[in-house]
Amino acid sequence: MIRDFAPQDADAVGSLTLAAYDGYGSITGPYREQLAAPRRRAAGSTALLVAEVAGRIVGTVTFVLPEDPEWEGPDPPHADAGFRVLAVAPDTEGRGVGRALVTHCVDLALHHERRRLMLTSMAWMTRAHRLYDTLGFTRRPDLDVRFPGGIGVVYQRDLVPDAAAHFPPPGPVPSTPPWFEDVWSR
């Protein structure tokens, strides 16, 4: 079952998010604190979702629109919806939880009459990248950025046939991705 985050979910969602990220790489510093603080994401996003199986929270994702404080990306935006901080409990990976959460984000974007869905993922999150590929997302290496924890790679999925007409076209792929603060206005 996928539902909206509730305040009493905060500890479980924070712990799950850190466990999911720690299973594949290393996030340190202030961003680690943000990952463990789902109430902040909930307050700054259109929706913070959780997935439950038999009453246990096993996944989470943050759905954002460009007007949300939690939006990540360049200005002007190259999409009008996005998601971030997708996390699945390590012991439930491979059971469709991530797929269900991303599919729910696609449905939310369509409900909000959005044209394109976008996300930034750490380069070392290769399992998630395979999921995005199977769900029709394409890479946008021209929008990749550097973070303290490594390279952030960008994916997009057009939701309507004329999506490309509403956003800046892909640009040149830089030899080294720029620092995220240099291209993200927020």
Q: How far apart are CA 157 and CA 9, in angstroms?
A: 30
Count structural domains, the chain: 1
3-state secondary structure (DSSP) of residue 61: strand
Q: Give per-residue pLDDT as tens, 52-97.
A: 999 999 999 999 999 999 998 888 899 999 999 999 999 999 999 9
Q: Are the beta carbons of 105 and 125 closer than 8 angstroms? A: no
CATH number at residue 31: 3.40.630.30
3-state secondary structure (DSSP) of residue 54: coil
3-state secondary structure (DSSP) of residue 171: coil
Q: Give per-residue pLDDT as tens, 152-178.
A: 999 999 999 999 999 999 999 999 999
- Residues of the domain holding 44: 2-183
